Amino acid sequence: MSTVLSDGVIHVSDDCKACDHCTFICPTGAISGVLGQKHHINPQKCINCGQCLINCPFNAIYDLSKVEELKKVLADSQKFVVVQEAPAVRVALGEEFGQAPGTNVKNKMYAALRKLGFDRVYDTEFTADLTIMEEGTELIHRVYGALGVAGFENVGPLPQFTSCCPAWIKYAEDNYPLVLPHISSAKSPQQMWGAVAKTYLAEKLNVNPANIFSVSVMPCTAKKYECERSEFIASGYQDVDLVITTRELAQMIKDAEIDFMGLADEEADRFVGLSTGAATIFGATGGVMEAALRTAYEILSGESLGKVEFDAVRGLDPVREATVEVPVKALGTSLPVSVCIVTGTKHVAEVIEDVLAGRSNYHFIEVMNCPGGCINGGGQPIRRDTY
């Protein structure tokens, strides 16, 4: 087993000042230590989310890094190195180069990655769209199953939970095994991308998948753990070989002395690099839900949405709920789809308890570990704003 799986991604260094701030940040109680005592993370309980890391006042928490390995791979001409970047990266990477939070730098990011030596530059947003197709279809099947439509008897229970956040997945596996059947079987966009890169993309580009080295740039430390989980080998290889964070990418760009803001805009490569607005908002809490609603609504109703924004699912409150009336052409009726959005794993236990006790009448529940969604992930630039 890789060290990441056994020891976890997140560790406390000797610089710990024993301030005890992190024990409150941690959603799982994985951090032990009291005020005055150096703290320690229990890798069994830790879900690798990195929230403690970005919130440690003394930067005493670090994540295991594979940047050095990546630099070697990039220098190796035998390897065909491909890269995907999560939606949240593009609105935060610029902060490391003097831009305000929220500044979109995706086209400069593509350019910088090419300059760093990646052979092809794609985008996780492509598989975010793919996730919507698969996960959305799964949801429709589960709804049909619950309504007793023939042919959907064994499709899994409602409500369906999202599955994009590996921190949330580990939390559920560790603490609520009974809720696992409720979690969408769709892989996260990162892992879907890994699986199609070494199959579909290899076919399209006519490269030997064994030579493909698949990298992803994530706002997230838990993704480092996710990519090494032993079940992600559907392509016949480890689907995603290596994950770096937004911070690490920024550091690589600085190390390579690339004038990031001076780069000309570029686009992602074709086949698995095209994205939509629906995929872009995956990085924000409620974004997966909104993207799913856009697609589910149009497919179920057969009508085109006038206004694509679902304001009801937006916001930053840790637990939000909304009901959306969806006309279902196949059934000839209208279905009130009831959804819930949780951001911050701390707040999910209550929602799960309700589901397990049968008190929940939601259809679809989005869970993101990080408060605000992936844009505030454990791999994002660390901010210490005072005004």
Partner 1 sequence: MKLFHESEGITRRQFFKGAGMLTVAAVISGVFAKFGFDVFAASDDYIAKRVAGLYTLDESMAIRKSHENPEIIQIYKDFLSPGKVECVSPKAHHLLHTKYGNDIPGFIAELKNPHLVHEAEPAANEETSTEEPAA
Partner 2 sequence: MSNVNGKVLKHGTQTRTMHWIHLLAFIILGLTGIGFYWDIGGIASIFGGEANASLVHRWAGVVFVVGPLLYVLLNFDRFSRFMDSISHFSKDDFAWLKVMGGYLPFIKVDEVPPQDKYNAGQKILGWLIIIGCLLIILTGFPMWLWRHSVPAVFLAFCYNVHFWTAIILILLVAGHFFLAAIHPKSRVEFSSMMLDGYIDAQISAHHNAKWFAELKESP
By CB under 8 A, name the binding residues for partner 2: 17-21, 23-24, 34-38, 55-58, 384-386
Residue 82's DSSP bridge partners are: 120, 214
* 231 noted as active-site residue: yes
Q: How far is the CB of 50 from ligand HEM (least distance, A)?
A: 24
Q: Is 290 a catalytic residue?
A: no
- Among the listed residues 60, 121, 183, 324, the single contact to partner 1 using CB under 8 A: 183
Q: How far apart are CA 168 and CA 170, in angstroms?
A: 5
Dihedral through CA 172, CA 177, CA 179, CA 183, nearest 10?
60
- Which string of x and - marks every residue 33-72 that binds ligand HEM (by CB under 6 A)? --xx------------------------------------
Q: Is 135 a catalytic residue?
A: yes
Residue among 128, 104, 169, 89 nearest 291 (CA): 128
- Which is nearest to 171 in space by CA: 52, 48, 53? 48
In the bound complex, what is the minimum distance in angstroms from residue 327's beta carbon to partner 1?
Answer: 15
Q: Which of 124, 147, 173 is nearest to 374 (CA)?
A: 124
Size of the site for partner 1 (CB under 8 A): 88
Tokens of 138: 């799964």
Task: Please give the Cα distance from 28 to 25 (Å, whole number).
Answer: 9
Q: Is 267 a catalytic residue?
A: no
Contact call for residue 329 and ligand HEM (CB under 6 A): no
Give the x/- contact pattern for ligand SF4 in 94-123, rule: CB under 6 A: ------------------------------
Residue nearest to ligand HEM (CB): 36
The minimum distance between CB 289 and partner 1, in angstroms, equals: 13
**Active-site entry in 163, 184, 235, 360:** 184
Distance CA 271, CA 286 (A): 27
Give the Å distances, CA to CA, from 217 to 113, 225, 257, 295: 10, 13, 19, 26
**Contact flags string 203-242 toward partner 1, x per CB under 8 A:** xx-------------------------xxxxxx-------
Strands 160-161, 319-328: pairing kind: unpaired
Task: Provide the binding-site residues for ligand HEM, judged by CB under 6 A.
Answer: 17-18, 35-36
Catalytic residues: 135, 138, 164, 184, 223, 226, 231, 374
